[in-house]
Structure 1
Amino acid sequence: MKDNFSTQSAEYAIYRPTYPQELYDFLFTLVNEKDAAWDCATGNGQVARILAQHFQNVYATDISEKQLSQALKLPNILYKVESSDRADVPDESFDLITVAQAIHWFNFEAFYAEVKRTLKPDGVIAVIGYSLMLIDKKVDKIIHKLYEDILGKYWDSERRYIEEGYKTIPFPFEEVSAPHFQIKTTWNFNQMIGYLNTWSSLQHYKKANERNPLEYLFTELKEAWGDDAEKEVRFPILLRVGK
């Protein structure tokens, strides 16, 4: 599994969007018991801290110690530096396993073997993610220019799974039909810039060229943003749920 986010772990914690409550509410209706959940590739614990409000115990793992250092510490969350292919727990431990905006980096076969080992017989796995945000036509056009024209070759090949809506990932489970959800938030201009700086491709570009590509587009982005103090931002959510 690649670690593309330790470098910008602080920015990730500040600027990455959070999932809506209705997504969690849907998942919780599918779970019979709420004894234990595993949030794999938890990052800064964004999902784990919501799970902790509903489950007695949450096991939250990530390969990035820097990401985990940004996570909210709660008494019923155990954070551990572990990869997705091995959880240090007994068989049939979890009622719910979540992996958010990360499965495209995994060795699918190894992770799914561990899911099948650690999930209870009636347990649920939820693979969650989000695709490119939508703001408005002018801003979206510049962001697409950044995404495709400038950073295109700097995206890892695994990014294609997100572009394909997670529909092409292997998913060897009894699939549960899920509603469509989206993240809705409001950003000011600086929040948008902060978020763009968390992109793994942008970090790859900076490493290769010793320059931040946003420098080339900053004026265009500012003009496209206009005089609005804040704008509504939407992220379509990707979701595969199985038993």
Structure 2
Amino acid sequence: MATIDRFSGHADLYAHYRIDYPSELYDFLVPLVTTRTTAWDCATGNGQVASALSAYFEDVTATDISEQQLKQAVQKPNITYTVCPAEQTPFPDHCFDLITVAQALHWFDTDTFHQEARRVLKPGGILAEWGYGMAQIDPVTDPVFYHFYDNIVGPYWDDNRKHVEDHYARIPFPFDQIEYRDFTIRRNWDLDRFLNYLRTWSSVQKYIRQHGNDPVLWVADQLKTAWGNDEREVRFPVFLRAGRS
């Protein structure tokens, strides 16, 4: 399976407008880890998860295939960033207490990645994989947003996106003592912030490259009256699975 990079071309936009994850997720995840010396955040992007993990682990290694993404990453004294694919790393055997993958598993050769994760996890170490689904705002906004997702940029999603829609149900998870949890991301955004989040989507960037115009302007036109100048609560459902090596 060829390595897929859909985010290097808009790494700066991604760094400013991509979402982070709720504290409740880490409150659940971290106590599963029996020792908290080393963690690996795989496909870290601009380091959202790595930054959170740095508060709990002595050393955090964060990797991505995109050098451009890592140039935008959060810098902390105990985070080391490395450019490498998820499926083949330079790390020694059994060196990590925790491995995390946030909103990226669907881009991997998952069988090969899981073999690599098992190799580098310490005995009894934890692998946690999570993602998030479609935003929910209100009954007026949601139909416009969903039409945009399904019909305007829908044809420009990679097939991999289907794995996010079904919460990775079709991707095997060959680990023990598996736990599943759901969380909710809640953010208060004005319309401009929401539109720029949409521009981080790989489907939107693919549309722009093919057509030379920004499809998000359609959303802006449809929502500017209903949204107004105020902030709205935007909610994202998060699904997580964690297992032990």
Task: Kindly report which structure 2 residues correspond to 1:3-22, keeping only aligned pairs within 5 A, or say none.
Answer: 3-22=5-24
CA RMSD of aligned residues (A): 1.1
Deviations 1:158-198 (A, max 9, x none): 00000111222121111432332111111011100110111
Among 54, 57, 79, the alignment partner of 1:55 is 57
Q: Say whether 1:84 aligns with 2:78.
A: no
After TM superposition, the structure 1 stretch with the greater mean CA deviation from structure 2, 230-239 or 166-175, is 166-175
Q: Say whether 1:238 aligns with 2:239.
A: yes
What amino acid is the match of 1:101?
Q
What amino acid is the match of 1:236?
P
Counterpart of 2:209 in structure 1 is 207
SS at match of 2:127: strand
Using the size of structure 2 for normalisation, the TM-score is 0.96
What amino acid is the match of 1:10?
D
1:221 CA displacement: 1.8
From the superposition, tell whether residues 9 and 177 of structure 1 become closer, same or farther in structure 2 (CA, over 3 Å): same
Cα pair 1:40 1:60 within 8 Å, conserved: yes
> What is the rounded CA distance, in whole Å, between the counterparts of 2:211 and 2:241 in structure 1?
37
Cα pair 1:166 1:240 within 8 Å, conserved: no
SS at match of 1:179: strand
> What is the rounded CA distance, in whole Å, between the counterparts of 2:177 and 2:108 in structure 1?
20
Identity of aligned residues (%): 47
Count of residues in Structure 1 that have an aligned counterpart in Structure 2: 242
Cα pair 1:96 1:124 within 8 Å, conserved: yes
Using the size of structure 1 for normalisation, the TM-score is 0.97
Cα pair 2:7 2:202 within 8 Å, conserved: yes
Among 179, 183, 189, the alignment partner of 1:187 is 189
Deviations 1:95-119 (A, max 9, x none): 0000000000000111011001000
What amino acid is the match of 1:240?
R
Deviations 1:52-72 (A, max 9, x none): 111111110000011001111
What amino acid is the match of 2:158?
D
Q: Say whether 1:173 aligns with 2:175.
A: yes
What amino acid is the match of 1:188?
D
1:37 CA displacement: 0.4
1:128 CA displacement: 1.2
SS at match of 1:143: helix
> What is the rounded CA distance, in whole Å, between the counterparts of 1:217 and 1:119 in structure 2?
44
What amino acid is the match of 2:241?
R
Counterpart of 1:159 in structure 2 is 161
> What is the rounded CA distance, in whole Å, between the counterparts of 1:224 and 1:199 in structure 2?
23
Task: Kindly report which structure 2 residues correspond to 1:102-113, keeping only aligned pairs within 5 A, or say none.
Answer: 102-113=104-115
> What is the rounded CA distance, in whole Å, between the counterparts of 2:166 and 2:19 in structure 1?
20
1:218 CA displacement: 2.2
Cα pair 2:181 2:239 within 8 Å, conserved: no
Runs of 4+ more than 4 Å apart: none
Counterpart of 2:33 in structure 1 is 31
Counterpart of 1:96 in structure 2 is 98
| Uncovered stretches (5+) of structure 2, i.e. residues with no partner | none
> What is the rounded CA distance, in whole Å, between the counterparts of 2:38 and 2:18 in structure 1?
26
Cα pair 2:58 2:78 within 8 Å, conserved: yes
> What is the rounded CA distance, in whole Å, between the counterparts of 1:106 and 1:196 in structure 2?
23
